[in-house]
A and B are shown apart, each in its own frame.
Chain A
């Protein structure tokens, strides 16, 4: 039975989506049972095993972060938005706090800035290694998976020692951070840095330069420079296409402007280049960690919240800070009022640029909070870049842009 054009037109006018199914094509669904790093689904149309159309069906883990924030006090938003990307929680929440600080006209203490940078870079490494592991197992290289997850544990452990928890740190507060580092922390960080440096050549040998892997990644999912700019992709995906852009470079936040590091850029635009960007970034993050910990060791006396705030703290709060490095919050901070205004802030998370727009009407909760996450901006790659590839290249492209569904869906 076939439907006449008239009926189709009628359906269309009622807002029903009508599309013709081509008999020659196979249509398959990939997901939403966790195809990798979260719940999302692809609707892929195949001619033989050549993808002719790919439709990323996102939104399975949409949790209305923006709307939920409108009903929460300022401090309580950090633990909420951090659940977008728990593996990259420090980077993902920092711009929110930066925007809040702009509204409150508060500047973090330098020590807090260095601690933030230190945790951000540890988090970036952990996040890249996570992505790397997932990528490895996608393309059947389970060693990369084991290695990535094993070595990530080093940085997760360090974060735990610094913040008290493995992933969801809730570490930033306006004007500072919640904990100072323990006495023996610098040695641990240095040991971890040296360890990871010695590991990098091994990663290159077993994965990146391994001919089996190179064959799978080379010239797959090519995004040219123009195309990358046109699609608006961010992060390692953008830098893998030869565009020299990184928020830490374009608009340095915290103390990134004072730190000596490189932003690696690769020209090829394929899956291999994107993987190399992340590997080179790990090396740079190790450099940043070293510089940050050197600074922190030299300036032990500064408090991790602004001096004037510290002086106002009650006696017990100061005692606790001196004894354990824990910054106690004041009950007045729960329902603090933020001056009316609008602020934007952005930062470079593991997967790219994260952007926050925060608007206050002078109350105890935001009037509006808008967040644009890197994965949300990279999702377009699936639609535009996948057609023309073989089905076996889908995991390669997915893994190489390090897509993280909960982050994209918010």
Chain B
């Protein structure tokens, strides 16, 4: 059947009996969840969320793969990614120096849209499946080329227990401990 509009009406209420019944029903539900609540609270940082692969988190550069095409810097909608010029040893002729451009990222601006990762023609960029890395100062969020190649440390991993949430038919989201991480 194609979509259609259907007129419905609000349940008519009124009368003492109805009022008492609805009140009692609401109270019963309230008491039920008071005794047996559905909790999904995560006790961060004692526990931390282990996202599924494919989560658009922090970005890391594989410099050896990068062909310096600048597509990532051009597509970035918030101008978070910029190209820097470096001179480095030419791998083919070790005696020579060469000038090359590589992208660096500014996490003050990045909105994690993932365009840069998707546009890179050689898959030189990849997402890490997490978001919660802290920096001491705003300036530190402008990563240098060296830092951009390292996977940042996630402080919660040191002390916390990884958990995952699963969709459940009766409880909504259920928190489960993920053994062995990853």
Complex interface: chain A residues within 8 A of B30 (CB): 143, 206
Interface stretch, picked from A49-57, A241-249, A381-389, is: A241-249
Report B97 CB to chain A, min CB distance, Å: 28
Residues of A within 8 A of B112 (CB): 165, 168
Which residues of A178-197 have CB atoms within 8 Å of chain B's CB atoms? 178-179, 182, 188, 191-192, 194-195
Interface residue count for A (Cβ, 8 Å)?
74
- Decide if A157 touches B3 in the complex (CB within 8 Å): no
Minimal beta-carbon separation of B78 from chain A (angstroms): 8
Determine the distance from Cα of A330 to Cα of B113 in the docked complex, in whole angstroms: 16
**In the complex the two chains form, is B8's CB within 8 Å of A280's CB?**
yes
CB contacts (< 8 Å) of B71 on chain A: these are: 331, 334
Quick one: CB contact mask for B1-38 with A, threshold 8 Å, 1 for yes?
11111111111010000010011011011100000001
Chain A residue nearest to B5 in the complex (CB): A244
Q: Which of A2-10, A15-23, A101-109, A261-269 contacts B (4 or more CB under 8 A)?
A: A261-269
Assess whether A314 is in contact with B167, with CB atoms less than 8 Å apart.
Answer: no
A164 touches B8 (CB 8 A): no
**Chain B residues within 8 Å of A205, by CB:** 22, 25-26, 28-29
What residue of chain A has the Cβ atom nearest to residue B166's Cβ?
Answer: A188
Given A316-B121, A329-B115, A331-B121, verify A276-B172 contact (CB < 8 Å): no
List the 8 closest pairs (A to B, CB-CB), nearest first. Answer: A244-B5, A76-B77, A331-B71, A164-B56, A210-B26, A263-B5, A329-B119, A262-B6
- Which B residues lie within 8 Å of A160 (CB)? 51-52, 55
Chain A residues with CB under 8 Å of B113's CB are 79, 168, 170
Q: Once the chains bind, are A209 and B54 in contact (CB under 8 Å)?
A: no
Would A326 and B118 count as touching, CB distance under 8 A? yes
Residue of A nearest to B20 (CB): A211
Say how far A247's CB is from chain B's closest CB, in angstroms. Answer: 11
Q: Say whether, besides A157-B173, A248-B3, A260-B1, A266 and B119 are in contact (CB < 8 Å).
A: no
- Are B173 and A154 interface neighbours, CB within 8 A? yes
Q: What are 16 A-B contacts with C-beta separation under 8 Å?
A: A154-B172, A164-B127, A170-B113, A195-B171, A198-B169, A202-B29, A206-B26, A209-B25, A212-B26, A249-B5, A252-B3, A257-B2, A258-B2, A265-B6, A329-B118, A334-B119
